[in-house]
Structure 1
Amino acid sequence: MKESELFTPVKKLLLNQGCKDVYGEVCNYDVVGVAPDSEFIVEMKKNMNFKVIEQAHQGIGRAKYVYIAIPKPKSEIPNRFARTILNDYGIGLIYIDSDSASIEIPSAEHDIHWRNIREDVLPHNKIMIGGVKSGDGPTEYSITIDAVKAFMRDRDWVTIEEILQHVDTHYSNPKPSLAATLRATWNESWCERKIIKRKTHFKFKND
């Protein structure tokens, strides 16, 4: 079962949980559900591992509920330690069996202390399928990031304002949205930042 095949049952589950809309591939998260008074982040994997736990943990503070979704295992023994970690961090667990999904461990209710994930939902996320590998096709997000990288690659430290003077983005509110994106943990591999004269500057990491 591919990760993208987990999307439909997860979407159905989130709609049953009260979400009015479910989106795929929002920022670095597989699935995002938005209800009137809450948000859901779901990271999907074919099996439980520390990578997916780390990815889900990064969603804490950006949504009220955070889950990991995996196919229902034949045995619980391999997941015992993982379940302990999930309980410690308040991360929920969803099991997918054929074309249905059910909550095995409810997520704790998390406070929002970072940028709310619903603020990063874009129109194209409505038709995206969660779990599709980023290399399978360009998105508005990837096009924006590629353009930002191209501008920054051969330059020294630049501000958000300087980037936006030369790069068109897909964001409806470009300055705070791009600043949050460049600060995100998943962009640390290529983007570094520091304060120069009380202003945040960014630079492309050249290996």
Structure 2
Amino acid sequence: MMLAVIKETELFEPVKHWLEERDFTVYSEVQFDRRADVVGRLGNLLVVVELKTSLSLDLIQQCVDWRRYTHYVYAAVPRPKRHLNSYARDLLRREGIGLLTVEHHKADWLHQEDWWNVQIHVHAQLNRHAATHYLLKHLYEEQRYGPPGGHRGGGYVTSYRITMERIRNVLRWERNRRDSDGWLSVREICERVETHYANPRVSVARALLNFEHHWCESKREGGKLYFRLREGSE
């Protein structure tokens, strides 16, 4: 059995699957005054998972900082070739932080495809008094389709990215029209673009304002939001 080397971004999918098997809805790259790699929500129950390539004191401190905002906190790292650091494992237990290890097994004579395995080495302790309202109000639908947790750049083909590309194409077409100034309201955008959102107008406006402002400019006029493709973003 051969273990493959795992990058930080590759930890996301197996951890996401592990949470979804437990009926959690998964959000990635959730940020308010700090950023959580992965957040799982089951009703009002929240779990934060921080992804790193090794178990370090910095990772443990990150997890400790999340304890006040969520019911459970886990650190997720690739399974080490030899053994887990016993001091770090004891420290996690004392702080109430859980530990997940992720294995990536390459295909062999027994398995036709690569496969992943997530194991719990330390169970997280429930924080019944967590101030979860801070984190709950920063969970948006687009975070379910955005870049994977642990990610530091673009390039992932997701439902979110497909929606944004459709909007960009519509705004590009509108800007290139001779009789148009290029501005479209949220209502006009949603009438022309099929999106993956359950509540398109609110979600599209939030996504364009918070995540896509590098290519999409906005203005408010008469109490309505309007968007236009930025000049030079063709």
Give distance in 2, aligned partners of 1:10 and 1:114. Answer: 21
Letter paired with 1:101: V
Q: Distance in 2 between matches of 1:46 and 1:144?
A: 29
Counterpart of 2:16 (choices 11, 20, 24) is 11
Output the amino acid matched with 2:68. Answer: G
Match of 1:35 in 2: 42
Question: Which position in structure 2 is the counterpart of 1:121?
Answer: 139
Give 1:81 deviation, angstroms: 0.9
Q: How many residues align?
A: 144
Who is 2:124 aligned against? 107
Alignment partner, residue 97 of structure 1: 103
1:131 is matched with 150
Of the candidates 22, 26, 32, which is equivalent to residue 30 of structure 2? 26
Aligned to 2:57: 50
Contact 1:13/1:102 (8 A) holds in 2:
no
Deviation at 1:100, TM superposition (A): 2.1
Deviation, structure 1 residue 33: 0.4
* Residues 113 and 37 of structure 1: CA distance in aligned 2, closer, same or farther (over 3 Å): closer
Alignment equivalent of 1:80, drawn from 77, 86, 91: 86
TM superposition shift of 1:97 = 1.0
Q: How far, CA to CA, are the matches of 2:131 and 2:58 in structure 1? A: 23
Give the aligned partner of residue 171 of structure 1: none
Amino acid at match of 1:75: R
Cα distance in 2 between the residues matched to 1:22 and 1:80: 30
Q: Is the contact between residue 62 and residue 116 of structure 1 (CA under 8 Å) also seen in structure 2? A: yes
Amino acid at match of 1:5: E
TM-score normalised to structure 2 length: 0.55
Give how far 1:58 is off: 1.4
**C-alpha separation in 2, matches of 1:95 and 1:65:** 16
Percent identity over paired residues: 29
Asked if structure 1 preserves the Cα contact closer than 8 Å seen for 2:78 and 2:102, the reply is yes
The answer (yes or no) to whether the contact 1:63–1:116 under 8 Å persists in 2 is no
Which deviates further from its counterpart, 49-58 or 114-123? 114-123
Deviation track 1:164-199 (CA, whole Å, cap 9, x = no partner) reads: xxxxxxxxxxxxxxxxxxxxxxxxxxxxxxxxxxxx
Amino acid at match of 2:143: N
Cα distance between partner residues in 2 of 1:52 and 1:74: 19
Give the letter for the 1:24 counterpart: S
**Measured at CA, do residues 22 and 114 of structure 1 come closer, stay the same or move farther in structure 2, by a change above 3 Å?**
closer
Task: Measure how far apart 1:144 and its partner are.
Answer: 4.8
Distance 2:134 2:86 in 1: 31
Paired residue secondary structure (1:120): coil
> Matched residues in 1 for 2:42 and 2:134: separation?
13
Gaps of 5+ in 2: 1-5, 105-115, 156-160, 162-205, 214-234
Q: 1:37 offset after TM fit, Å?
A: 4.1
Name the structure 2 match of 1:155.
Answer: none
How big is the shift at 1:114? 5.8
Query: 2-11 or 107-116: which moved more?
Result: 107-116
The answer on whether the counterparts of 1:31 and 1:130 sit within 8 Å (CA) in structure 2 is yes
Whether the 8 Å CA contact 2:73–2:98 is kept in 1: the answer is: yes
- Structure number with larger C-alpha Rg: 2
| Aligned-residue CA RMSD (Å) | 2.7
Stretches of structure 1 lacking an aligned partner (at least 5 in a row) = 148-207
